[in-house]
Amino acid sequence: MDILEIDLESTDFTDTFDGVISSMTMHHVKGIGAMFVKFHSLQNNGGIIVISDLDKEGGRFHTEDSGVYHFGF
């Protein structure tokens, strides 16, 4: 198993994978829909996508909100 840390907002990546994991990053992504499309394009047939992020929380998680586009989901 390989683990890659990639900024998919600024990097074109054409490899595909059995699993795509996003942990505590989606609240920093402005274009959520476009990122979901990109996740899907990275998936092998039968692959999985796992996303973990904040519940709605009103902005208390970060003490400084630069680069935060969503206060949870």
Domain-wise residue ranges, the chain = 17-52
Question: What pLDDT does 3 receive?
Answer: 83
Paired with 49 in beta bridges are 20
pLDDT band at 13 (very low <50, low <70, confident <90, very high): confident
**What distance in Å separates the CA atoms of residue 39 and residue 60, rounded to the nearest whole number?**
28
- C-alpha dist (Å) from residue 61 to 12, 15, 24, 65: 30, 33, 11, 9
24-37 pLDDT, tens digit per residue, is 999 999 999 999 99
Return d(Cα 12, Cα 9) in angstroms, integer.
Answer: 8
Helices (H), the chain: 32-41
Name the nearest CA neighbour of 2 among 13, 17, 24, 22. Answer: 17
Please give the average per-residue pLDDT across 6-13, as a whole number: 86
Whether 1 shows a pLDDT value over 80: the answer reads no
pLDDT of residue 32: 95
pLDDT-based confidence at residue 6 (cuts at 50, 70, 90) = confident
